[in-house]
């Protein structure tokens, strides 16, 4: 399949997912910023509000920083109408070095004057991870006005992918992979010997747009398995991400995409 090329990005479709391969890291961030801006403009036009579930880890930090500090974006970013949520969180205090909230605070929030009510942090300071998940779920149900048999619909959900094919805190054998009613759950991740709080796969798949950001050669084997290997979502949780009524975009760099058969 011959990839299309616009600017410095190759675009192909694999299994109904749009794969965009940026020529370099700056191009990748530029594309991600543009996707965020377009989704924000569309959502605010439709309902005067833009909801984003942020991904954690290290990959998205430069994107968050660019969104917060690029003066050329100016009024294209309706921060006062933007509500930030987290796709997952480590069960550590919010100022812990491995906290996803802390990463977003340093890369994004510290540069903005976002109203406190627009930042929907997962409250990991509570005594139990399950309680943190329950509180987060209640906050989401209230904000999105969804009952127990409904799920919230994020305008944009950002995701990363581990080299093992996990995404958010959906890990092999985890509860969140197959849970259909809950919005968020707490998981013990044996491999990491730690608790995580994560949106369930069902909630992620209810998003209007899911944007994966995957970079680096160390992700190339996992990306090939997830996108072109056999379907085994219990071993490769990123395969479970297939929005039921939304767009799925994989934004990668050439290193991460280097093993794809295009
Ligand atoms: C987390 C993330 C996780 C992350 C991947 C990729 O809390 O760690 O949500 O799913 O996106 O592990 O992490 P990197 O971007 O650091 O490679």
Q: Residue 57 C-alpha to ligand 1 middle, in angstroms? A: 4
Q: Is 159 helix (H, G, I), strand (E, B) or coil?
A: strand
Q: Residue 2 C-alpha to ligand 1 middle, in angstroms? A: 30
Classify burial at 252, counting beta carbons within 10 Å of its beta carbon; exposed 0-12, middle 13-18, buried 19 or more. Answer: buried
Q: What angle do CA 136, 138, 143 make, to 5 degrees?
A: 95
Q: Phi, psi (5° rounding) for residue 51?
A: -115, 130
CA distance 223 to 221: 5
Point out the ligand 1 atom lying closest to the alpha carbon of residue 55: 9
pTM of the model: 0.96
Q: What angle do CA 50, 152, 143 make, to 5 degrees?
A: 65
CA distance 120 to 101: 10
Query: Can you state the angle between helices 25-47 and 61-69, rounded to 10 degrees?
Result: 60
Point out the ligand 1 atom lying closest to the alpha carbon of residue 60: 15
Q: Residue 159 C-alpha to ligand 1 middle, in angstroms? A: 8
Q: Residue 60 C-alpha to ligand 1 middle, in angstroms? A: 9
Q: Residue 109 C-alpha to ligand 1 middle, in angstroms? A: 19
pLDDT tens per residue across all 262 residues of the chain: 456 655 678 999 988 899 999 998 899 999 999 999 999 999 999 999 999 999 999 999 999 999 999 999 978 999 999 999 999 999 999 999 999 999 999 999 999 999 999 999 999 999 999 999 999 999 999 999 999 999 999 999 999 999 999 999 999 988 889 999 999 999 999 999 999 999 999 999 999 999 999 999 999 999 999 999 999 999 999 999 999 999 999 999 999 999 999 8
Q: Ligand 1 pocket: which of 55, 164, 197 to mutate (most atoms <8 Å of CB)?
A: 55
Output the residue whose Cα is nearest ligand 1's atom 12.
162
Point out the ligand 1 atom lying closest to the alpha carbon of residue 167: 10
CB 201 within 8 A of CB 170: yes
Other beta carbons within 10 angstroms of residue 227's beta carbon come to: 24
CA distance 43 to 94: 29
Q: Residues enclosing ligand 1, CB less than 6 A? A: 55-59, 87-88, 100, 160-162, 166-168
Output the residue whose Cα is nearest ligand 1's atom 2.
56
Output the residue whose Cα is nearest ligand 1's atom 10.
168
pLDDT at 191: 92
CB 249 within 8 A of CB 209: yes
Q: Residue 55 C-alpha to ligand 1 middle, in angstroms? A: 7
pLDDT at 29: 96
Q: Ligand 1 pocket: which of 161, 214, 220 to mutate (most atoms <8 Å of CB)?
A: 161
CA distance 120 to 5: 38
pLDDT at 75: 82
Strands (E), 66-164: 82-86, 88-90, 156-159
CA distance 192 to 38: 36
């Amino acid at each position: 399949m011959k990839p299309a090329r616009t600017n410095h990005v190759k675009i192909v479709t694999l299994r109904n997912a749009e794969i965009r391969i940026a020529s370099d890291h700056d191009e990748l961030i530029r594309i991600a910023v543009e996707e965020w801006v377009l989704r924000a403009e569309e959502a605010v036009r439709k309902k005067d509000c833009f909801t984003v579930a942020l991904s954690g880890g290290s990959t998205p930090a430069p994107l968050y920083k660019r969104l917060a500090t690029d003066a050329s974006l100016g009024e294209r970013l309706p921060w006062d109408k933007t509500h930030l949520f987290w796709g997952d969180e480590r069960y550590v205090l919010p100022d812990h070095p491995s906290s996803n909230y802390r990463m977003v605070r340093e890369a994004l929030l510290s540069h903005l004057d976002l109203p406190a009510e627009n930042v929907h942090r997962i409250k990991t300071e509570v005594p139990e991870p399950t309680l943190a998940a329950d509180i987060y779920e209640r906050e989401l149900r209230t904000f999105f006005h969804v009952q127990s048999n409904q799920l919230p619909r994020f305008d944009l959900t950002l995701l990363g992918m581990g080299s093992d094919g996990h995404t958010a805190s959906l890990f092999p054998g985890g509860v969140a992979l197959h849970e259909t009613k809950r919005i968020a759950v707490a998981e013990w991740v044996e491999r990491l010997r730690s608790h995580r709080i994560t949106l369930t796969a069902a909630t992620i798949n209810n998003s209007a747009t899911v944007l994966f950001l995957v970079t680096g050669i160390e992700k190339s084997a996992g990306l090939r398995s997830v996108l072109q290997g056999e379907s085994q979502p219990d071993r490769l949780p990123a395969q479970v991400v297939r929005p039921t009524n939304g767009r799925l975009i994989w934004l990668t760099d050439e290193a991460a995409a280097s093993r794809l058969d295009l």
